[in-house]
Amino acid sequence: MNLEIGTELPPFVRETGLENWNRFAAVMDEFVPHHMDDEAGKKSGMPGAFGMGNLQSSYMHNLIRDWMGEKGRIRNFTIQWQQPNLKDTVVTARGRITAVEDTSAGKEVALELWTEDNNDRRLANGTAKVVFSA
């Protein structure tokens, strides 16, 4: 695995809409009208229904897990939401290595993370630290 600073993680990509959001609502018990109904989304000032912020967090975790495999462990994670995930857009979670450090626990890799849609809208920014055991 290439752990050089600047290396980009293989992106995690999903077409998003009610099929994803209803499944996430079902496991989170998050049946909020503006995530399920266009009219409710419009009342919240959006063009229609929009996705859950916590699903953006899961997409960033999926990105990290798919990249690190079972040898890595996520030590910490941060997220700041920027804009909502609009219906019928393609969301891509991306990441880049920003630092690598040898620690007593193993190699600790710092990541810059973000999600964006196919209209060049940044949805969320984040960071994480992953440790690969020696």
Partner 1 sequence: MSEASDTVTNISEEMRAAIGTVLGTRTSYPISASDIRKWAIAVYFPETPPERFVGAGGPDAPLTAPEEFNPFAWAAPGKKPKRPDVSAAFLENQLGITPPPLNTVLNGGTVVEYGVPMMEGDVITATNRLDNYTEKQGKRGLLLFSSMKDEWVNQRGEMVKRTTSTVIRL
Residue numbers at the binding site for partner 1 (CB under 8 A): 14, 19-20, 23-24, 26-30, 53-55, 57-59, 61-62, 65, 70, 73-81
3-state secondary structure the chain: CCCCCCCECCCEEEEECHHHHHHHHHHHCCCCHHHCCHHHHHHCCCCCCECCHHHHHHHHHHHHHHHHHHHEEEEEEEEEECCCCECCEEEEEEEEEEEEEEECCEEEEEEEEEEEECCCCEEEEEEEEEEECC
Nearer to partner 1, 6 or 69 (CB): 69
Nearer to partner 1, 7 or 77 (CB): 77
Nearer to partner 1, 6 or 111 (CB): 111
Nearer to partner 1, 7 or 58 (CB): 58
Tell the smallest beta-carbon distance from residue 59 to partner 1 (Å). Answer: 7
Nearer to partner 1, 61 or 116 (CB): 61
Where do we find the tokens 């990509």? 13
Tell the smallest beta-carbon distance from residue 46 to partner 1 (Å). Answer: 15
Helix axes 18-28, 53-68, angle to 10 degrees: 90
Tell the smallest beta-carbon distance from residue 73 to partner 1 (Å). Answer: 8
